[in-house]
Homo-oligomer: A and B are copies of this chain.
Amino acid sequence: MIPSSLDEPLVIALDAMGGDHAPHAVLAGADLIRKRYSNISFLLYGNQSVINPVLEQFLQLKAICELIHTENTILAEDKPSVALRQGKDSSMRLAIDAVKNGKAVAMVSSGNTGALMTMGKIVLKTLEGIDRPAIVTTTPTIKGKMVMLDLGANIDCTADHLFQFALMGNAFAKVTQGLKSPTIGLLNVGSEDSKGNDRVKAAAAKLRETTLPLNFYGYVEGTDIAEGTVDVIVTDGFTGNVSLKTAEGTAKICHALVREAFMGSFAAKIGYFFAKASLKRAFSRLDGRNYNGAMLVGLNGIIVKSHGGSDAFAFSQAISVAIELATHKINEKIMQEVKLSQQTLPVPPTDDSIKIA
């Protein structure tokens, strides 16, 4: 749950150059956060000749920012390997370094996801007991919100990876949704035991057999994402990425169809006049900006990825996620889950070299 106030001062590192609308969206987003919390401050990484003129528009924000100049920026089209080699003094990398060195409790960037993941892994390293970091976010459902991972960090996953994603998703849902025992579903092509590929079946077996206090629901299907059947959906990065983008795309065309419908006739236009406010509220529940901020979970430090197209409001939501995760010490919670699993897990690692059926 996002705290209403901060017990102690918090420093967040911001990649001021990342995203389509940088640096304005970054600074305007940070300014929205400044208005909410009295004891927050920011480390801004980026080109001072670009940032300073914008910062002059936000004088109260300027007072709580330290600007660290760099001329190097990771571009959206840079390959992760290139970013890693040539981006050592980039705004993104320096913001990650700030988390590594303890200068900031978290970093937020709207920049290149692949570069962020690769540099994050190299600089922060994975948490002990976690083989692969994953991308996790909350997403809207008819009932409220749900946590979903992996959204694209790991294109191919073993059953052990999926099991670790479940542990991390469990901790993430506890922290962000305030749930005591989140229900966890494994995304599959059907709910019956016989459905799915070998790695999904092996992961389900591990989740069923573990003596950990995990609330494993079983298999869920694509329809369960919007229905909010469970609190956490675990899947590989390929399926997670495609299905979340499918849901986003479908919500967008539904919205477009409804808008179009209201322009269809004179009667419909009158209808729109009366229903406008209610409809706005309904569609804001599906507005991706409200759910902006995905964590690269499984690293020794908090990295929050904001959507590349984020505006100020969306970016402020991503900073909120960083604050939420930092104040609730997400990584300590994940480490507790992992340690418990190492102590209690009687299930041997599965041999799930991926087979073609």
Using CB atoms and an 8 Å cutoff, list the residues of chain A in contact with chain B. Answer: 77, 79, 141-142, 152, 154-158, 187-189, 192, 194, 196-197, 221-227, 235, 237-239, 241-258, 260-262, 264-265, 267-268, 270-279, 281-283, 285-286, 353-357
Residues in chain B near residue A261, CB distance under 8 A: 275, 278-279, 281-282
Distance A247 CA – B241 CA, assembled complex (angstroms): 13
State the oligomeric state as a number of copies.
Answer: 2
Distance A246 CA – B142 CA, assembled complex (angstroms): 13
User: Separation in Å of the A309 CB from the closest CB of chain B?
Assistant: 12
Sample (23) of A-B pairs whose CB atoms are under 8 Å apart: A152-B189, A154-B357, A155-B197, A156-B354, A187-B242, A189-B241, A222-B243, A239-B239, A239-B243, A246-B247, A247-B249, A254-B254, A254-B258, A257-B283, A257-B285, A258-B258, A258-B282, A264-B278, A267-B275, A271-B273, A271-B275, A271-B276, A275-B275
Q: Is the CB of B257 within 8 A of A282?
A: yes
Distance A247 CA – B194 CA, assembled complex (angstroms): 24
Distance A254 CA – B256 CA, assembled complex (angstroms): 11
Partner of A223, one of B77, B223, B224, B248: B248
Residues in chain B near residue A225, CB distance under 8 A: 246, 249-250
Distance A255 CA – B279 CA, assembled complex (angstroms): 11
**A221-B245, A223-B249, A239-B238 known; A194 vs B354 contact (CB < 8 Å):** no
Residues in chain B near residue A252, CB distance under 8 A: 223, 226
Nearest opposing residue in chain B for A352, CB measure: B356
**A156-B357, A247-B247, A258-B279 known; A253 vs B226 contact (CB < 8 Å):** yes
Nearest opposing residue in chain B for A353, CB measure: B356
Nearest opposing residue in chain B for A264, CB measure: B278
Nearest opposing residue in chain B for A244, CB measure: B222
